[in-house]
Structure 1
Amino acid sequence: MRNVERATADDLDTPVPGIRSGSAADLPSIIRLYNTAHAQRPWTHRRPAIWNRPIPQTTWAPGSQTLVLQAGTAAVGYAVLEGRAFGDLLGSLIVDELVAEDAAATRLLLTAVARLCRQRRLSEFTVREPTDGLTGQVARHMGCTHQQRFPPSGGMMATVLNRSSLVRKLEPELRRRAAVQQPDHEYNEPFDALRRGDLLPDDQALIRLLLGYWSANDTVVHGISIPERYRDLSAAWFPGGGAHSLLSPYAHRLDRY
């Protein structure tokens, strides 16, 4: 809440212009905005024109509450919030989806959610959106923090990466690439460091490097450090880069497969 107040310098007691409650008539606009923002993302299904899966509200279970941002006659953004059920405590506010056409509209929607928090006397709210999407970028720019959980089950549609097995299967190709940089008898130490995770411990970064989306030089831009003694070898291993950014996999709660 404080981050949003500081970023907007607005009085959160004042209604945000263009914000209204959503209805079933807004579903075509919601589907269009969602598909534009997320349809190319792994684990995401393009929503068909008949999609209608906001969660219905019952007496003891909160459903979905929708806010829509209107500009002229068009809806340019929406937020789907967990609604409140009878007897529900004012303990939290969770936004299942928040999608808008541009950064300005996203900012207005986040401000509207913060205003709702002010009315409920809450100090924070949670938005369930991928950090590399427009909402994640705007929220981080406003000073909000990123939290990521890793459930023991692996979560919905999860797979487990066996780093050691994967790297061993790729060893012939990695050894071929390293031949110009590393004598064969000195190769085992960095290879074992890569296999164990001592070198490039971030599995997501490793996958991006192996797929060629990143080169070894790109790791610096993303805050990942490669020890000096392994830099030349890593440059030979991972010569990729220059590809389109790889969107992180994400499955929204309202798409219950």
Structure 2
Amino acid sequence: MTLDILFQDEHLVVVNKPAGLLVHRTNLAKDEEDAVVQRLRDQTGQWVFPIHRLDRGTSGVLVMAFSPEIARRLSSQFAEATTQKTYHCLVRGFCDSEGVIDYPLAKLNEQKGRSRFKIEGTEKEAETQFTRLQQYQVPVPVSRYDNMRLSWVEVSPKQGRKHQIRRHFKHYLNPLVGDSCYGCRHINKVVKDLWPEDFRLMLHASSLEFTHPISLERLVINAPLSPAITNVLDKLSNYRYQA
């Protein structure tokens, strides 16, 4: 299956990564043949070099370089936080209308066994801005509550720590819908029972702004939402909540 290419020139390529696809093979997934790197190599006929990561369950804007030098220049922009990343996610409950989650995060390392990730090292600064776009109240019971409350949120992480958005919203007590690591099992079960064909991690990298390493043009690349997310939002549109 070919990837949706959002931008491409002789230096770099930007795709709309589908949910469920690894960016590249890892030590825990050595036997998997399918990943963005492999697909793009076959699709473009060139070697590609990853610049940043999106979790396997996350869809959206992903940029890769066609040479190590371009990869180095782009990577420095992410390291120096001169890029602008915008995500959209569906979370449990009614979160605040806007805010900043300023909560340091320690490094996560992949681990084999029951717990896939292990916290290691000292905590580092992590800041995530958010704006609530819509609230929903669905008349189905969840745990001890009579209704399921959800919020559709626009998010801008400043740093990009591993699982930063997912960990921050868990800390904020509004975990992401469909998150198997940090989510609410009660919400996940209800949503999966209601819409099994569209159940996934409800996190999408909607936009990425960065400076082209050669032309120095400021690029803004937007990625449309996946069908699964738009399907869920369409179904939720009947349950918009106005305070």
TM-score computed with the length of structure 2 as normaliser = 0.28
Which structure's residues are more often helix, by fraction? 1
Specify which structure has the higher proportion of strand: 2
What is the TM-score of this pair, normalised by structure 1?
0.27
